[in-house]
Chain A
Amino acid sequence: MGTRIETVATATPSSKKIGVQHNSTKLAAEAAINCIQKANLEPEQIEILINTGIYRTDNIGEPAMAAVIQDLIKAHPFGKKKKRLLPDKQTFSFDLMNGGCGFINAIQLIDGLMNSGSLQKGIIVTADVEPRPGYSEGYHFAPIAAALILKPGEKDQGFIQFGTDTYLEYKDCFTGQLVFSKARQKSLLILDQAETYLDACIRCSNESINKFLETNKLGINDIDLIIPSQSPDGLPEALNQISDLKGKVVISNTDLGELHTAGPAFSLEKIWSSQQYNKAQNILFLTVSAGITTAMALYRKPS
């Protein structure tokens, strides 16, 4: 049994002005509500909510951002009739953080829970915003949220294979850290990206794709579409230049900045109704993040 994507949705802030404080939980909740409505579900039917966003308003560490999102979308244990649901019908939520790869890690976790029969409906939400404008250096990610609802699917359909790789030799190429500056007497979020990071991501992605295909006894011709991370800037375009991958890679751009953890879901929503997606059968999700870590998921689109 493979887990299928029921719906995907995104949310962007009403203000596009630079330097505006956006609310990460409200943005994520908006994407989640859009997604739940598209799926014709009620919020309390969601059994698990995993947030994979990294950068959040005010750098809140506790509670999990997922709990706040759950509250905002009203996935409360009361249900519509205000009658408390049984414990096994209630929602569990937490944050999972692994840069852009958290998205696939969360899908793999939900897929496992669905395969064991302990889960019927799960949602992954993600949003990144500049935590406090004026208190960061090098922050360049778009304030965009995305959500994805997953449901159990048929055998040999939906998500059928997962893979991850780590390339520790590149662990210093991209870092995101909150540092207290004694000189400025404030906590600063510092994103530091080496010039070599993009090249390293391209190299690692290519190597991981080949390894993944070999492990699963597939050829690149078996893959119809590749939905990659949209960061670092230029990655999807560069992957699309690799001869074997040419024409298969989905490239998404926004005027709000570089897409971070929402990149793959944002791209999926963009192509959801397109001919390219309709025709595709085997879709490879490829995420790349600091570490360098790559994560892949093969999605066989349900017929």
Chain B
Amino acid sequence: MENKSKIESIGVKLPERCVTTRDIISKLKIFNPPNLERMSGIKERRFCAENEDSYTLAVDAVNDCLSRSKYKPEAIDMVVCCSISRNKDGLTTVFEPPLSLFIKESIGAHQALNFDIANACAGMLTGIYIVDSFIKQGIIKTGLVVSGEYISNLSETAVNRIRTATSSQLASLTLGDAGAAIVMEKTDQNDSQALKVSGFTTFSEHNNLCIGRQCHTSPGGIMNTKRRKIHSAAILELPKILKAALTDSNLSFSQIDFFIPHQTSITSIKAGMQQMIKKLKGSPGETVTNLERFGNTASTSHILALHRYLQEKRIKKGSNILMTALASGLVIGCVIFSIKDLIQTYGNTN
């Protein structure tokens, strides 16, 4: 029987420090600041405290995940860290050894195969793509996909540098910190919860629309985004990928109960959805937005949104979930699955 993979458990970590959009806008040194709260739908987001960073967020998310998992750390065969930010001990960026090595050491998965990947905000879904492949091949039985995004420093850099309401650093003000983790396990082709991972494509001709790097002369990072161009490119490319992924899964867009896009801004998601509904001739039960309280948490955004909906018991057994990556590169990809056992780990027996 053919091997498949499924999501066994998920976990998140949110820093306690809450920063409102109004706080951020009030610090801008411009005469006519944009109405970011209305444009983005973000009222607040979490920022790391002094003792938190990508590594601590990732480890705390894994521990949260393992608290809902039947697996002990030593039963994890593989650890893939997918963060864009790879900060440890504050703002120090770790290149070697990779962050995944420190994570597996911390949680006690000492002999797990580990590596880091980078694929911008598509990181965790790319991690799912990789672990899914290793499980299907029978190389591993369980895999951990984890990310810790300490990206509030990009927002702080932008506050000091933005001089106009149309600045290319404006999108940095939407960022919030978070950690997310999932345990994936082996299942078989008859399991309705098996993941359908498809459509992963890099439209590299759009690679220069969002660029993030370390600052040379100040701590932390900097990100420049051509917001309108990236949105237009996404609208152009996404429907075809979605259509192919849905066809692969024998589903229509209307049969998707929860559509989880990458969480950027409410206006982008709404405008994008109008196009998707038109081109795919149907609409999902609900388009999940998780921006109001957490902002854009980069590669963790899909899992954070899924976690919130599970925690609030809004997802019913048998619901079809579609998570769509949309990231700098321009990367698009889809993960489709039906939910069953996962809702029970959140105490929902419905």
Contact = CB atoms under 8 A, between A and B. Distances in A.
A150 to B, nearest CB: 14
A92 interface: yes
Question: On chain B, which size bracket covers the interface?
Answer: 35 or more
Contact of A66 (B199, B202, B213, B241): B202
A41 B203 CA distance: 20
A67 B104 CA distance: 28
B95 A94 contact: no
B204 A62 contact: no
Given A67-B329, A87-B201, A178 B139 contact: no
B223 A54 contact: no
B327 A71 contact: no
Contact of B204 (A68, A87, A290): A68
Contact of A67 (B102, B111, B137, B202): B202
B50 interface: no
A302 interface: no
B269 interface: no
A96 B116 contact: yes
Contacts of A94: 117-119, 122, 126, 202, 331
Contact of A293 (B101, B214, B219, B330): B101
Contacts of A101: 115
A75 B133 CA distance: 23
Contacts of A258: none
B136 interface: yes
A10 interface: no
A62 B97 contact: no
Given A71-B204, A186-B216, A171 B105 contact: yes
B97 A59 contact: no
Contacts of A171: 97, 101-102, 105
Interface stretch (B17-25, B27-35, B85-93): B85-93
Interface residues of A, number: 64
B133 A116 contact: yes
Nearest to B209: A63
8 closest A-B pairs by beta carbon, nearest first, are: A62-B212, A98-B115, A176-B96, A70-B204, A63-B328, A71-B204, A178-B93, A67-B329
Interface of B: 84-85, 91-98, 100-102, 104-105, 110-111, 113-120, 122, 126, 130, 133-134, 136-137, 139, 199-205, 207, 210-221, 223, 240-241, 244, 327-331, 333
23 contacts: A49-B202, A54-B95, A60-B211, A60-B212, A62-B210, A71-B204, A77-B203, A88-B244, A90-B203, A97-B117, A98-B114, A101-B115, A109-B130, A109-B134, A112-B139, A166-B114, A171-B105, A176-B96, A178-B93, A179-B92, A187-B216, A289-B97, A291-B97
